[in-house]
Amino acid sequence: MILWRGSFNAKQILEQHWDTWITEPDWEYLASKGINTVRIPIGYYHLCGADPSILEKTHFKDMHSVFCGAGPRIVNAIQTALRYGIGVLLDLHAAPGKQNHDSHGGTSKEPEFFNSSRHRDHTIHVLLTLIRLLNNAYPNAVGIELLNEPAPPSDTLLKDWYSEATKAILLSIQRFHSTSANAGRPTTMPNT
């Protein structure tokens, strides 16, 4: 991966990609064709601008400056989709520790997600950060895919993790609704 192998302008390359891959005319075109929902794949590292601890003890621990600008662009995509009446499914495409053997898991390293409770717990932290980022402010956020294409050694391990993650998310949402005076206001992230 070029980002890891000596590219000193990784931030610039990624920000150029994020800013040009899908633009306003693309959203307009999708809406004109009747598309009502899109899936946006994100890596856990894309949320480090909202919470720098997301990168701690991961393969991306030294990459905050490269990825911290992704979060505001994710929010912008959700807001733009909303203007065009398009729903957004957010997909945690790459989890800490890598959840499968595929390259889209975020790294070329071997998957460690199912071998380490630390990675699984950290992924729940990432999902809760994503929920805080959304802050109940985007009615077009139709869902969050907890983990893209997991490859567990057993179905039981995956079911147990899904159960744990779902409970943590529901508890977080309940707390938000019972204590938040800011319900409906978007969380802002610094543009860096």
Residue 158 has pLDDT above 90, yes or no: yes
- Residues β-bridged to residue 37: 87
Contacts of 129 (CB under 8 A, 6+ apart): 47, 50, 51, 54
CB contact burial 67-81 (16+ within 10 A = b; e otherwise):
bbbbbbbbbebbebb
Residues 54-108: pLDDT tens digits? 999 998 999 999 999 999 999 999 999 999 999 999 999 999 999 999 988 888 8
Residues 104-128: pLDDT tens digits? 888 889 999 999 999 999 999 999 9
How long, in residues, is the chain? 192
Percentage, residues of the chain above pLDDT 90: 77
Pick from 62, 57, 55: which is nearest to 4 by CA? 62
Residue 185 has pLDDT above 90, yes or no: no
Q: Do 143 and 89 meet the contact criterion of CB atoms below 8 Å apart?
A: yes
Q: What is the pTM of this model?
A: 0.86
